[in-house]
């Protein structure tokens, strides 16, 4: 359990072990683990608390097969590993808070997509805490996913997530930009930063 005294070490460790998993064991996933992933996803922030998301957990082989097919389009047959995952999750944008949509439109921002990204990150971090692996898929035929899941008219499939027990437990070293390559400080007068 994370407490006020250990959260500073737990969170960085969790982000370090989360990685895209493309090979899964043929094992069922405990429902309680999936419930915790959803519970943490729903706590993500969203513009005006619009919560413009729906997570559809798919374990049914027939429907999961349709999602795998939707994610395996094109001459390169993208995402062949998706068929190994015992569960797939469709993350859908739902009609949300109108002022948020209009405000985003006027400002040239897509707030619901930002909100979905934060919810999906929460979901995947919790999956890692549960000993599960995930891979977020953005390349798929949305119309096929919508049809397979019988989504309402204004629900839009935005991401698919494969989830299961990783076949390989090794945590890869992450190749990321150095901190000074992806951030900068603007300091000057004010009380902002302690030295």
Cα–Cα dist 63/149, whole Å: 7
Q: What's the mean pLDDT when you consider all of the chain?
A: 91
The order of strands in the sheet holding 133-137 is 53-58, 87-93, 156-164, 133-137
- Tell whether 185 is covered by a domain: no
Can you give the pLDDT at residue 59? 98
Asked whether the predicted pLDDT for residue 2 surpasses 60, the reply is no
The answer to whether the beta carbons of residues 111 and 100 sit under 8 Å apart is yes
Given a cut of 60, whether residue 174 has pLDDT beyond it is yes
Residue 148 lies in a domain: yes
Residue 13 lies in a domain: no
The burial of 35, by beta-carbon neighbours within 10 Å (0-12 exposed, 13-18 middle, 19 or more buried), is given as exposed
pLDDT digits (tens, 9 = 90+) for 102-145: 777 788 888 899 999 999 999 999 999 999 999 999 999 999 99
The predicted model scores a pTM of 0.90
pLDDT of the residue at 75: 67
Per the domain annotation, does 181 fall within a domain? no
The tens digit of pLDDT for each residue in 55-84 reads 999 999 999 999 999 998 766 677 889 999
| Cα→Cα distances 114→66, 121, 130, 155, 190, Å | 27, 11, 25, 16, 31
| Distance of alpha carbon 90 from alpha carbon 2, whole angstroms | 28
Give the pLDDT confidence score for residue 31 in this predicted structure: 98
Indicate if the pLDDT at residue 9 is higher than 60: yes
- Only one residue has tokens 């990685």, namely 19
DSSP secondary structure string, 83-123? Answer: GG-SEEEEEEE----HHHHHHHHHHT--HHHHHHHHHHHHH
Residues in the chain: 195
The DSSP code for 56 is: E
Which of 170, 167, 169 is CA-nearest to residue 85?
167
Number of domains in the chain: 1
Residue-number span of the structural domain to which 145 is assigned: 38-167
Q: What percent of the chain has pLDDT over 70?
A: 93
Write the CATH number for 86: 3.40.109.10
Question: Within a domain: residue 51?
Answer: yes
**pLDDT the model gives residue 117:** 98
For tokens 């698919």, the residue is: 160
Q: With contact defined as beta carbons under 8 Å apart, do 82 and 88 qualify?
A: yes
């Amino acid at each position: 359990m994370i407490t006020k005294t250990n959260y500073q070490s737990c969170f960085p460790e969790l982000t370090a072990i989360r990685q895209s998993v493309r090979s899964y064991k043929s094992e069922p996933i405990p429902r309680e683990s999936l419930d915790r992933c959803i519970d943490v996803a729903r706590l993500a922030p969203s513009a005006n608390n619009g919560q413009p998301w729906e997570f559809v957990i798919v374990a049914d082989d027939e429907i999961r097969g349709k999602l795998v097919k939707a994610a395996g389009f094109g001459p390169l047959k993208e995402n062949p590993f998706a068929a190994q995952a015992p569960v797939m999750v469709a993350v859908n944008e739902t009609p949300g808070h109108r002022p948020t949509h209009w405000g985003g439109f006027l400002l040239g921002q897509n707030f619901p997509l930002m909100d979905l990204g934060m919810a999906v990150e929460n979901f995947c971090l919790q999956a890692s805490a549960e000993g599960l692996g995930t891979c977020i898929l953005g390349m798929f035929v949305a119309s096929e996913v919508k049809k397979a899941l019988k989504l309402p008219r204004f629900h839009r499939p935005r991401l698919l997530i494969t989830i299961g027990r990783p076949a390989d437990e090794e945590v890869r070293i992450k190749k990321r930009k150095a901190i000074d390559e992806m951030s900068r400080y603007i300091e000057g007068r004010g009380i902002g930063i302690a030295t």
